[in-house]
Amino acid sequence: AKQLILERGLRLFELEHCDEELDWSADSADEIDAELNMIKGGGGCLLQEKIVDTAAGTLVIVCDESKYSSQFGQKWKGGIPLEVVPMAWSLVKRRVESQFGGKALLRESLGKLGPVVTDNGNFLLDWHFEQQHSWEEVDFQLHQMPGVIETGLFIQAASKIYVGKLDGSVSRLVLK
């Protein structure tokens, strides 16, 4: 992405050197429910995605209809990612499973031995829930657990969502 931006003469900067709000950010999602909440971070960058997304005045989500469902878990089977401090991963795993049910699995690396390590040096748990919840409340409660850095729950964070359909048409959903 960086190379494409530079090749096209667009302005690129590091967020920590930006002293103004970003006009907009564009991204995708792993799943979007009927309430327009999203699961993101399946690729492992949920903390950095959330930082960039909240730094922008407008978050635009672009996805295809395979990402849109009436409730979480219908289409995305990867669970809800949780970025956790490495020393606390087993504690967070036990607490999530005890408090919310389901299984929280440490994400293992496919290319090397051991867990996936995020760009921030943390581990990822993928929480495979068994039932629907009040996702806003769950997100709040997860953030109260010592060791949880960030969740892959993006509660009504998008300003606009564009959903591409198989017939070539696009639906536009406006939240904010």
Domain ranges of the chain: 24-65+78-165
Determine which one of 49, 65, 108, 150 is catalytic. Answer: 49
User: Has this prediction a pTM greater than 0.95?
Assistant: no
pLDDT values of the chain reduced to their tens digit, one per residue, 176 residues: 788 889 999 888 788 888 888 888 999 999 999 899 999 999 999 999 999 998 999 999 999 999 999 999 999 999 999 999 999 999 999 999 999 999 999 999 888 889 999 999 999 999 999 999 999 999 999 999 999 999 999 999 999 999 999 999 999 877 65
Q: How far apart are the C-alpha atoms of 74 and 12, rounded to whole Å?
A: 37
Note the helical H segments in 37-112.
46-55, 89-100
Query: HSE on the CB side for 174, CA within 13 Å?
Result: 1
Amino acid identity of residue 150, one-letter, is E
Q: How far apart are the C-alpha atoms of 66 and 13, rounded to whole Å?
A: 33
- 65 three-class SS: helix
Provide the edge-to-edge strand list for the sheet that holds 123-128: 103-106, 123-128, 80-84, 148-151
Q: How far apart are the C-alpha atoms of 16 and 165, rounded to whole Å?
A: 37
- pLDDT score for 168: 94
**Which of 3.30.70.260, 1.20.140.10, 2.60.40.770, 3.30.70.520 is the CATH number of 24-65+78-165?**
3.30.70.260
- The yes-or-no answer on residue 49 being catalytic is yes
Q: What angle do CA 108, 111, 115 make, to 5 degrees?
A: 25
Is residue 51 within 8 A of residue 15, CB to CB? The reply is yes
Distance from chain centroid for Cα 28: 9
